């Protein structure tokens, strides 16, 4: 849609000066090019409602600013071949990181969202020699991804980091993640910004998995859904009206601490160092260590939850018992989430859900259907790759576009 005519005000009340209106048209065009890929001047004019001369001036302006570039021609049509234009990938680059108990994964993408470099730094949380080196390790991961892309830190416009736990907006402290020594410093975000020289966003990893699911996965057609993450840690992301629910301290969705029958209570609070795995609640029933133990109780020995569930799926009798009990536990926790939030969809993600697959989903659905609750649709995540890293990249690119695409 074209900007309002001169004399009107923009939606935020800013007078509709020619400069502001040009910036609005620029942003609309850039968003269309980002969403649709290469477009001709004529097609861009049709989509924005701009005249051909105005669309031509706009493209010339954006090309001069380094935001768009010509890329080939439309062929096979009568008349002259029309020039195609696309977002200039080099207009900005961003970094995204996913932190887990074994290390840090980093990826660098251009402004179109195309990944151009990746790197992994091994950094077990049990290695006490790494405590206090968090900023150094993050920089090492980012530098490795930048090197793979042939870039350096000066090319970055922003960084998004996905970690277990949540950053308390009141204190700047990472909570609900006592198993990540070195990440609880109140000055951590400033330390990282000083090293990388970019704005830093630290976001809950499960929230980022939900962002990935919302834009690239099985939740694309839903404005109200819950993503339940069952892995080494257990958590949830709640999306209502298309917006993530974070809570007053950033702890919305920390269902790993949720007290349930059959699980020890999580004592000592979300930051208790004595409880590195949550210490109790739902996580003690469905997290990876619990799945390994459940399988062992039924005679299935496996070093990881994924291998335990793979074995259970092909072991009649004992394997059926493992899957049935795990489904009962998952459904019991989901019942609490569904009763409070009433989502249209629940997405199961993480190592436990992926390994259990459709068989586990069906068993969970059967258990959940037997409860007197709203009955949301239940799906397994279909994201290919690391959903936390994908979500972090999505957010980083969106943040960068808000800055780089603003030509006002």
pLDDT (0 to 100) of residue 186:
81
Instruction: Tell me, yes or no, whether 253 and 392 share the same domain.
Output: no
What pTM was computed for the model? 0.89
Instruction: Tell me, yes or no, whether 340 and 257 share the same domain.
Output: yes
Instruction: Tell me, yes or no, whether 186 and 80 share the same domain.
Output: no
| Of 87, 106, 139, the domain-final residue | 87
Range of the domain at 325: 220-382
Residues in CB range of 172: below 8 A, 6 or more apart:
186, 187, 188, 189
pLDDT (0 to 100) of residue 49:
93
Instruction: Tell me, yes or no, whether 263 and 332 share the same domain.
Output: yes
Instruction: Tell me, yes or no, whether 56 and 164 share the same domain.
Output: no
Instruction: Tell me, yes or no, whether 195 and 258 share the same domain.
Output: no
Domain for residue 164, yes or no? yes
- For residue 73, the cross-strand partners are 83
- CATH code, 192: 3.30.420.40
Residue in 249, 176, 178, 183 with CA at minimum distance from that of residue 206: 176
Render each residue's pLDDT in the chain as its tens digit; 408 residues.
444 443 344 444 455 688 899 999 999 999 999 999 999 999 999 999 999 999 999 999 999 999 999 998 876 566 567 899 999 999 999 999 999 989 999 999 999 999 999 999 998 887 877 777 899 999 999 999 999 999 999 999 999 999 998 888 888 888 888 778 778 788 888 889 999 999 999 999 999 999 999 999 999 999 999 999 999 999 999 999 999 999 988 889 999 999 998 888 877 666 654 444 446 799 999 999 999 999 999 999 999 999 999 999 999 999 999 999 999 999 999 999 999 999 999 999 999 999 999 999 999 999 998 876 788 999 999 999 999 999 999 999 999 999 999 988
Instruction: Tell me, yes or no, whether 330 and 376 share the same domain.
Output: yes
pLDDT (0 to 100) of residue 356:
97
Instruction: Tell me, yes or no, whether 298 and 362 share the same domain.
Output: yes
Q: Whole-angstrom Cα distance, residue 76 to residue 46?
A: 20
The answer to whether the CB of 205 falls within 8 A of the CB of 236 is: no
Q: What is the DSSP letter of 164?
A: S
Q: Whole-angstrom Cα distance, residue 161 to residue 138?
A: 9
Domain for residue 81, yes or no? yes
Task: State the sign of the Cα–Cα–Cα–Cα dihedral 364, 367, 369, 374.
Answer: negative
Instruction: Tell me, yes or no, whether 368 and 226 share the same domain.
Output: yes
The answer to whether the CB of 219 falls within 8 A of the CB of 381 is: no
Instruction: Tell me, yes or no, whether 297 and 314 share the same domain.
Output: yes
Task: Give how many domains the chain has, as a whole number.
Answer: 3
- Tokens 């005519």 found at: 5
- CATH code, 36: 1.10.10.10
Instruction: Tell me, yes or no, whether 251 and 378 share the same domain.
Output: yes
| Of 27, 53, 87, the domain-final residue | 87
């Amino acid at each position: 849609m074209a900007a309002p005519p001169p004399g009107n005000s923009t939606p935020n009340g800013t007078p509709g000066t020619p400069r502001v209106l040009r910036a609005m048209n620029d942003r609309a065009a850039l968003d269309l090019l980002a969403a649709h890929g290469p477009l001709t001047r004529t097609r861009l004019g049709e989509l924005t409602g701009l005249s051909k001369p105005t669309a031509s001036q706009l493209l010339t302006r954006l090309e001069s600013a380094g935001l768009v570039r010509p890329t080939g021609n439309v062929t096979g049509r009568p008349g002259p071949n029309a020039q195609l234009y696309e977002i200039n990938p080099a207009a900005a680059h961003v970094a995204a990181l996913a932190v887990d108990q074994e290390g840090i994964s980093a990826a660098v993408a251009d402004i179109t969202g195309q990944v151009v470099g990746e790197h992994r730094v091994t950094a077990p949380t049990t290695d006490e020699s790494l405590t206090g080196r968090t900023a150094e390790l993050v920089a090492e991961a980012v530098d490795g991804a930048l090197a793979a892309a042939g870039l350096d830190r000066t090319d970055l416009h922003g960084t998004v980091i996905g970690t277990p736990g949540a950053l308390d907006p009141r204190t700047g402290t990472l909570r609900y993640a006592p198993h990540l020594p070195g990440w609880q410093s109140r000055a951590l975000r400033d330390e990282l910004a000083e090293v990388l020289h970019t704005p830093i966003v630290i976001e809950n990893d499960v929230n980022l998995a939900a962002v990935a699911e919302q834009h690239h996965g099985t939740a694309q057609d839903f404005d109200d859904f819950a993503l339940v993450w069952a892995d080494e840690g257990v958590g949830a992301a709640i999306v209502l009206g298309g917006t993530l629910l974070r809570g007053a301290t950033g702890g919305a969705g920390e269902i790993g601490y949720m007290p349930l029958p059959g699980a020890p209570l999580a004592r000592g609070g979300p930051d208790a160092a004595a409880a590195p795995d949550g210490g109790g609640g739902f996580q003690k029933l469905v997290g990876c260590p619990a799945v390994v133990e459940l399988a062992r109780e039924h005679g299935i020995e496996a070093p990881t939850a994924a291998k335990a569930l793979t074995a259970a799926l092909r072991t009649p009798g004992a394997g059926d018992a493992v899957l049935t009990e795990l489904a009962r536990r998952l459904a019991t926790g989901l019942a609490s989430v569904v009763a409070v939030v009433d989502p249209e969809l629940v997405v199961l993600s993480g190592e436990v859900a992926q390994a259990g697959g459709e068989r586990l989903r069906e068993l969970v659905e059967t258990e959940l259907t037997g409860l007197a609750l709203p009955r949301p649709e239940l799906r397994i995540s279909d994201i290919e790759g690391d959903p936390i890293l994908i979500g972090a990249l999505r957010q980083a690119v969106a943040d960068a576009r808000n800055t780089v695409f603003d030509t006002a």
